[in-house]
Structures are given as structure tokens and as C-alpha cells.
Amino acid sequence: MIVDHRTYSVIPGKLAELLKIYEELGLPLQRKYLGEPIGWYVSMDIGELNQVVHMWRYEDLADRAARRAKLAADPGWQAYLKQGMPLLQKMENKILSPAPFFKP
């Protein structure tokens, strides 16, 4: 099992717009192809502001690649990206695996 941990920095003043577009267009497609996220968070008043963090569970890198390829091929996802990507300043992805002593 691996976790795809994604942190997106949003242009100041655009967070509400991004969340609305994502909830309406992006999230339904991600649920269809990727499954349910294991976490989806918005930064608060401490630390770096205007960030969203979301995490997705996969069996392995091949599973991640296969599911994300199906998502990327969907015209609805491309339409979402056209609206959502201009609202982002920075994207950071990490692939995490459980420590040997942790059994998710």
C-alpha cells in the first residue's frame, strides 16, 4: 500500500473558487477513478496559508498509474483542469509507504 500525498498552494483570494470548482467537477471524477480520498484538508491560520492537502490510497505505483491514466483520459477531468489549474501557484506530490511497524 502507498499513499499519494498532494499539497497545492492556491493563489491568495482564490481558495473558495477552487474548492467550488473542485467539489462540482473534480471530486466526482476522482471518486469514480481513484476511489475515496483518505484525507482532504484546507490550511488554517497557522503555517503556510492558501493550501489544500489531499491523500489517496493505492496498492502500488502500478495501481496509481493505471487509475490516474483513466482519470486523465476523461474529458470531464480535462475540463476541470482547464478551470482549476490557473488558480494554483504550486503543486507538490509525495509518495509515502507505511513504516514497517505500522499496519494500515
Average pLDDT over residues 75-86: 97
Residue 15: φ, ψ to 5°: -60, -50
Share the mean pLDDT of the chain: 95
pLDDT at 103 over 90: no
Q: Rounded to two decimals, what is the model's pTM?
A: 0.88
In a domain, 101, yes or no: no
Quick one: pLDDT at residue 43?
Answer: 87
For the chain, the domain total comes to 1
Q: Which of 71, 7, 74 is nearest to 35 (CA)?
A: 71
Establish if 103 belongs to a structural domain: no
**Domain CATH code at residue 15:** 3.30.70.100
Is the pLDDT reported for residue 45 higher than 90? no
Quote the CA–CA distance of 74 and 59 in Å, as a whole number.
22
Confidence band of 104 (pLDDT split at 50, 70, 90): confident
